[in-house]
Amino acid sequence: MRKPWDLSNKEFVHMADSFHLQEEEEDLFGDDWLDSYAVEKILDAKYEKLDVNQVISEQKHLDDYQKQDLRELFLKYHKVFDGTLGLFSHKKVHI
């Protein structure tokens, strides 16, 4: 840690401003405001087989060629959309 007498006036003012800002945030938001910042609730997963034709027909913003590409994508990766759970067979990851 730095000795307080080594701080320039500009550094001291910046440090004091940071301290006051932190105090104000705790008063405004509570001590745990950061714990819940940008947190989304994870919903229960639904593992149902995908009805490819229904999903494609709902895509009103796509033209016929794009819908065909989407159909081919769903068919290529059909195991992902078959409504079953499986094991991730690749190497471990750490998040």
CA angle 29, 30, 35 (to 5 degrees): 90
CA angle 19, 25, 28 (to 5 degrees): 145
Asked whether residue 31 falls in the same domain as residue 47, the answer is no
What is this structure's pTM?
Answer: 0.45
Asked whether residue 8 falls in the same domain as residue 28, the answer is yes
Structural domain includes residue 95:
no
The whole-number pLDDT of residue 53 equals 92
**CA–CA distance, 1 with 91 (Å, rounded to integer):** 42
Give pLDDT tens digits for 40-86.
677 777 778 889 999 999 999 999 999 999 999 999 998 888 888 77
Full domain range(s) for residue 59: 41-89
Asked whether residue 27 falls in the same domain as residue 47, the answer is no
Give pLDDT tens digits for 4-54.
566 677 777 777 766 665 555 555 555 555 565 556 677 777 778 889 999
Tell me the two tokens of residue 51: 């009805």
Structural domain includes residue 84:
yes
Asked whether residue 31 falls in the same domain as residue 45, the answer is no
The whole-number pLDDT of residue 93 equals 73
